Amino acid sequence: MIRAVIELKLVYPYKRSMGTLAEFCNLWDSRIFSGGTHRIKAIIAIPSHRFKAIFGENPRIGMYDVPRGMEKFISSLKVKEVIVK
């Protein structure tokens, strides 16, 4: 299985965005790796087939545009690592 580790810069601090982030991760079979109550960054891991469904391409390390409809929740995202297991 291939997973993309993504660093999300959230619009609101993690404490306020936690519910939306949890719903997003549940919907896309992702896992939350880290996030602090006062930080605006969260790190998640998402399966590559789900990443491809959202972004239309296989995951590569680098910056990506925020998908339409997620601008109120995510301000930027960057793929930090691609894990192959």
pLDDT value of position 36 = 67
Is 46 exposed, middle or buried (CB count within 10 Å of its CB: 0-12, 13-18, 19+)? buried
Q: What is the pTM for the complete model shown? A: 0.84
Average model confidence (pLDDT) across the chain: 89
Instruction: Specify which residues 35 forms β-bridges with.
Output: 42
Paired sense of beta strands 31-35 and 41-47, if any:
antiparallel
pLDDT at 4 over 90: yes
How far, in Å, CA of 74 to CA of 44, rounded? 13
Give residue-wise pLDDT tens across range 26-67.
Answer: 998 999 888 766 678 889 999 999 999 999 999 999 999 998
- Would you kindly state where each structural domain of the chain is located, as residue ranges? 2-84
Separation between Cα atoms, residue 61 and residue 68, nearest integer Å: 21
Sheet holding 62-64, edge to edge: 31-35, 41-47, 2-10, 74-84, 62-64
| R_g (Cα) of the chain, nearest Å | 12
Top CATH class, 2-84: alpha beta
The mean pLDDT of 15-22, rounded to a whole number, is 84
